[in-house]
């Protein structure tokens, strides 16, 4: 499991909300000293934020942040009515939905876990333009 330092801003996130916004990134991509982060919200008062200590790329930080959100979600009832998660990474959306191949072997375990959680929790992933993610998350 990824190592992180996490914190939340605001009150508790609703694990049964119908819509979430999620983003991860990394400065110093692929260097010896990257600074990786991620955050997500249900567009309420809470933004959950993470500093990933072992992510080395933006894609890795995106996957780790999505995985953390998926783990926090409640299983929907009825199960076919799961939440929507907005991501600005079309690569992640397409890889998790199985429409694009994953080339980075070190991300396979993260992708597989996210795929499993998306199915279990009936999540719909939606590619959303970066400016809309910034408007909601503030970065």
What CATH number does residue 100 fall under? Answer: 3.30.420.10
Q: pLDDT for 3-40, tens place per residue?
A: 555 555 445 567 777 899 999 998 888 788 788 888 88
Q: pLDDT for 25-34, tens place per residue?
A: 988 887 887 8
Asked if 17 and 44 touch (Cβ cutoff 8 Å), the reply is: yes
**Smallest Cα–Cα separation from 63: which of 19, 9, 14, 102?**
102
The residue range of the domain holding 103 is: 4-137
pTM (whole model) above 0.85:
yes
Could you tell me the CA-to-CA distances from 5 to 18, 20, 37, 109, 138 in Å, in that order? Answer: 26, 21, 9, 21, 19
Q: Is 122 helix (H, G, I), strand (E, B) or coil?
A: coil
- Number of domains forming the structure of the chain: 1
Kindly tell me the burial class for residue 101, based on how many C-beta atoms sit within 10 Å of its own C-beta (0-12, 13-18, 19 or more).
exposed
Q: pLDDT for 38-72, tens place per residue?
A: 888 887 766 788 888 888 899 999 999 999 999 98
CA–CA separation, 38 and 30 (whole Å):
17
If you ran DSSP here, which 8-state letter would residue 46 be given? Answer: -
């Amino acid at each position: 499991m990824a190592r992180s330092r996490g914190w939340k801003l605001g009150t508790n996130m609703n694990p049964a909300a119908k819509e979430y916004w999620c983003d991860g990134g990394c400065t110093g991509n692929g260097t010896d000293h990257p600074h990786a982060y991620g955050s997500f919200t249900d567009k309420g008062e809470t933004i959950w934020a993470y500093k990933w200590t072992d992510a080395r790329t933006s894609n890795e930080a995106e996957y780790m942040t999505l995985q953390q959100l998926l783990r926090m979600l409640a299983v929907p009832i009825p199960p076919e009515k799961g939440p929507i998660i907005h991501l600005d990474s079309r690569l992640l959306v397409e890889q998790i939905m199985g429409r694009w191949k994953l080339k980075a072997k070190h991300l396979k375990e993260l992708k597989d876990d996210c795929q499993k959680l998306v199915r279990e929790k009936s999540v719909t992933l939606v590619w959303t333009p970066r400016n809309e993610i910034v408007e909601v998350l503030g970065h």
